[in-house]
């Protein structure tokens, strides 16, 4: 008899504890030795995931509970990586919907739940972090029912089981305060309420590739769900490509999942999830089927990107000093490679050979790609993120978001004013009487660019924001841009403390002393709205005269550390972020001060005014 299988994905808003729950499930499934040391959030295995403490890529694992094999997909909760979740849902028959018992459902909870309900997947509700002192599980459960109803859940779907967990200590309760000390109630619930996979092991082979992975030993791996039939090692099968053509291939190596390992298998039956090695050129969404009797599956369809950024070769005077890959050919090849695994991304040509338009789901998704590229040795420049605008039947439309801002009561006025200037419309305000309020806005996606950093400044770091794509709306017209100009270096050289000391009162510096700069590089933010050219290389004049002011100690304010994300949020239309393995610099598109137009938005504003 074959082993019973259950396939689940864990879905939630960012940070609600998915990866931590997987840790506990792995530990309690007896996959590790008793005394084996485990790192926390073990599934967050890539460098950027560990550094940032977030999941970026969906990943598979599997455990055994009693006789049942449970395949688990851990998914990312940040909305920019929603494409990963959409694919993961194709692999499973049910979902664990985690909700933080204090925060309650947030925009990404809504997004992933909506996708899961549309795919007719059986949900199990898991209220996590019940140990938080501010946990309010009963109220949160009510909010979850409201959300289900709002999403038009069927009667069946509304009848979901609920568990209460502390993922950190690995405990699940059926009722709050019952005497459970393990995750056993959760395992039991999965086996009881998630339907076993359908599909006949003797039917025509039907497999869909939903993810790609890479292993140092095996090279490229296609991760796929076997929907029907049995995939056997050594057999000839057909790959149904995305363009509809059929390509015969021989399956040489098969693996199934077990904890963090992959076990080599002779055959994998309908219902299970398989990793296939050695299939050249296979892509996400393609299916594998019988060669003589092909019955390909529909390709995966996922949501369209909403944000675009131009990636171009580095043309700054320092180009090629710090990176290994600098040509447009390098850039093109790297972006094409990315498209193979990152299916929610698109790349389009621009009018010029050296620049590409990269489309994604959000600033973070693109920032992660840029960060990965610079670590691999690439140099490039990126322009200001822009929202995709569609024209349908002569009507211009743009994406609209649901935005939730959670902040202390004292900042309500400031937040409303800021969002008003970005064409946000308040829909709802809820006061939990904890000193904080939660406000819901409807706002064009354009209004979100650069919003996070400005909101954090305006609310002294206390505001939390979450957003969700709601749909498309009529183009809302011009929107307020960055209200400040830049402090721009007027010549090449090395920055000098004395010069910075003279400039710093004008705004906020991005560079400290001893930094090599070039003409047109941005040294800081001007407090006023226009750009100002500054000489940051000016040495103090040597004099024989002693004067009290000349001896005055130079006190420098530490420069603002412009991380990649901050730099991307900061730049205006006429500026670039220059990215190399060692540096992140900001610059004007036109470096030569004499040739540089005034800031484009001013020019545009004056044109608008005169027309």
Ligand X SMILES: Nc1nc2c(ncn2[C@@H]2O[C@H](COP(=O)(O)OP(=O)(O)OP(=O)(O)O)[C@@H](O)[C@H]2O)c(=O)[nH]1
Exposed, middle or buried: residue 157 (CB in 10 Å: 0-12, 13-18, 19+)? middle
8, 14, 58, 190: residue in contact with ligand X (rule CB under 6 A): 14
Among the candidate windows 166-174, 374-382, 474-482, 550-558, which touches ligand X by CB under 6 A? 166-174
Q: How far is CA 264 from the centre of its chain?
A: 32
Contact 137, 101 (CB under 8 A): yes
Judged by CB under 5 A, which stretch of 14-22, 446-454, 508-516, 570-578 contacts Mg ion?
A: 14-22
- Give residue number: closest CB to ligand X: 77
Query: Positive or negative CA dihedral for 433, 20, 265, 340?
Result: positive
Phi-psi map region of 56: left, alpha, beta (phi>0 left; psi -120 to 50 alpha): alpha
Name which position in 6, 13, 16, 18 contacts Mg ion (CB under 5 A): 18
Q: Determine, following the binding rule CB under 6 A, whether residue 27 of this chain makes contact with ligand X.
A: no
> What is the per-residue binding string for Mg ion in 25-64, x denoting contact by CB under 5 A?
------------------------------x---------
Number of residues forming the site for Mg ion (CB under 5 A): 3
- 76 lies in the site for ligand X, by CB under 6 A: yes
Count of alpha carbons within 13 angstroms of residue 140, beta-carbon side: 24
Least distance to ligand X, CB of residue 50, Å: 10
**Cβ contact 86:108 at 8 Å:** no
Q: CB of 339: closest distance to ligand X in angstroms?
A: 23
CA distance 583 to 372: 14
Query: Please, what is the minimum distance in Å from the beta carbon of residue 74 to Mg ion?
Result: 6
Nearest distance in Å: CB 537, ligand X: 43
User: Is residue 55 within the footprint of ligand X (CB under 6 A)?
Assistant: yes
- The one of Mg ion, ligand X, none whose footprint includes residue 516, by CB under 5 to 8 A per kind, is none
442 interacts with, out of ligand X, Mg ion, none, CB within 5 to 8 A per kind:
none
For the chain, first and last CA: distance in Å?
79
Cβ proximity to ligand X, 76 vs 444, nearer residue: 76
Read off the tokens for 146: 């409201």
20 lies in the binding site for ligand X (CB under 6 A):
yes
Q: Which residues does residue 339 pair with via DSSP β-bridges, in sequence order?
A: none
Burial of 546 (0-12, 13-18, 19+ CB in 10 A): exposed
Name residues whose C-beta falls within 8 Å of residue 332's C-beta, 6 or more positions apart in sequence: 356
The residues facing 77 across adjacent strands are none
Sole window of 165-173, 333-341, 421-429, 581-589 interacting with ligand X (rule: CB under 6 A): 165-173
Cβ atoms of 300 and 226 within 8 Å: the answer is: no
Query: Minimal distance in Å, beta carbon 56 to ligand X?
Result: 8
Residue whose CB is less far from Mg ion, 97 or 521: 97
HSE-CB of 327 using CA atoms within 13 angstroms: 3
Helix axis angle, 184-193 to 18-28, nearest 10° = 100
Number of residues that bind ligand X (CB under 6 A): 21
Regarding 108 and contact with Mg ion (CB under 5 A), the answer is: no
Assess 132 for contact with ligand X (CB under 6 A).
yes
- Residues of this chain, 168-187, that bind ligand X according to CB under 6 A: 168
Using CB under 5 A as the criterion, which residues of the chain lie in contact with Mg ion when the complex forms?
18-19, 55
């Amino acid at each position: 008899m074959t082993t019973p299988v259950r396939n689940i994905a864990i879905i939630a808003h960012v940070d609600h504890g998915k990866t931590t729950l997987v840790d506990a499930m792995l530990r309690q499934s007896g996959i590790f030795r008793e005394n084996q040391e485990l790192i926390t959030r073990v599934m967050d295995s890539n460098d950027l995931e560990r550094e940032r403490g977030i999941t970026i890529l969906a990943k598979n694992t599997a455990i055994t509970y009693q006789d049942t094999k449970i395949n688990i997909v851990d998914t990312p909760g940040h909305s920019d990586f929603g494409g990963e979740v959409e694919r993961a849902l194709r692999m499973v028959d049910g979902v664990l919907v985690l909700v933080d018992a204090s925060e309650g459902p947030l925009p990404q909870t809504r997004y992933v739940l909506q996708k899961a309900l549309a795919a007719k997947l059986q949900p199990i509700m898991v209220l996590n972090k019940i140990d938080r002192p501010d946990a309010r599980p009963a109220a949160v459960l009510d909010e979850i029912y409201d959300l289900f109803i709002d999403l038009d859940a069927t009667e069946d779907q509304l009848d979901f089981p609920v568990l209460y967990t502390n993922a950190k200590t690995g405990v699940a309760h059926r009722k709050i305060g019952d005497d459970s000390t393990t995750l056993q109630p959760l395992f039991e619930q999965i086996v009881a309420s998630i339907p076993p996979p359908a599909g006949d092991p003797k039917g025509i082979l039907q497999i869909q590739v939903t993810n790609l992975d890479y292993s140092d030993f095996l090279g490229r791996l296609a991760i796929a769900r076997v929907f029907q039939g049995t995939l056997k090692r050594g057999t000839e099968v057909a790959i149904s490509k995305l363009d509809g053509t059929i390509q015969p291939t021989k399956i040489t190596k098969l693996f199934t999942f077990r904890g963090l390992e992959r076990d080599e298998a002779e055959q994998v039956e309908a219902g299970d999830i398989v990793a296939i090695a050695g299939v050249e050129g296979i892509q996400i969404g393609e299916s594998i089927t019988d060669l003589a009797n092909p019955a390909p599956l529909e390709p995966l369809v996922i949501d369209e990107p909403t944000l675009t950024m131009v990636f171009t070769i580095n043309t700054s005077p320092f180009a090629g000093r710090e990176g290994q890959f600098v040509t447009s050919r390098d850039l093109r090849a790297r972006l094409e490679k990315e498209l193979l695994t990152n299916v929610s991304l698109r790349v389009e040509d621009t009018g010029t050979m050296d620049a590409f338009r990269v489309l994604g789901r959000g600033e973070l998704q693109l920032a992660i790609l840029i960060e990965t590229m610079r670590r691999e040795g690439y140099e490039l420049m990126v322009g200001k993120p822009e929202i995709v605008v569609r024209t349908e039947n002569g009507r211009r439309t743009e994406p609209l978001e649901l935005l939730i801002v959670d902040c202390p009561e004292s900042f309500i006025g400031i937040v409303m004013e800021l969002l008003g200037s970005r064409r946000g419309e308040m829909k709802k305000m809820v006061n939990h009487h904890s000193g904080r309020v939660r406000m819901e806005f409807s706002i064009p996606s354009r209004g979100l660019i650069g919003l996070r950093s400005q909101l954090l400044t305006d609310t002294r770091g206390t505001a939390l924001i979450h957003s969700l794509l709601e749909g498309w709306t009529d183009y809302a017209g011009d929107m307020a841009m960055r209200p400040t100009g830049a402090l721009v270096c007027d010549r090449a050289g090395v920055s000098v403390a004395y010069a910075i000391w003279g400039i710093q009162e004008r705004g906020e510096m991005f560079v400290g002393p001893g930094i090599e700069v070039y003409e047109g590089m941005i040294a800081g933010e001007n407090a006023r709205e226009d750009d100002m050219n500054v000489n940051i290389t000016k040495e103090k004049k040597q004099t024989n005269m002693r004067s009290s002011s000349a001896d005055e100690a130079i006190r420098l304010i530490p420069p603002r550390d412009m991380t990649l994300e901050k730099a991307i949020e900061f730049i205006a239309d006429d500026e670039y972020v220059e990215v190399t393995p060692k540096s992140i610099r900001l610059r004007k598109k036109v470096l030569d001060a004499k040739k540089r137009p005034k800031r484009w938005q001013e020019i545009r504003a004056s044109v608008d005014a005169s027309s």
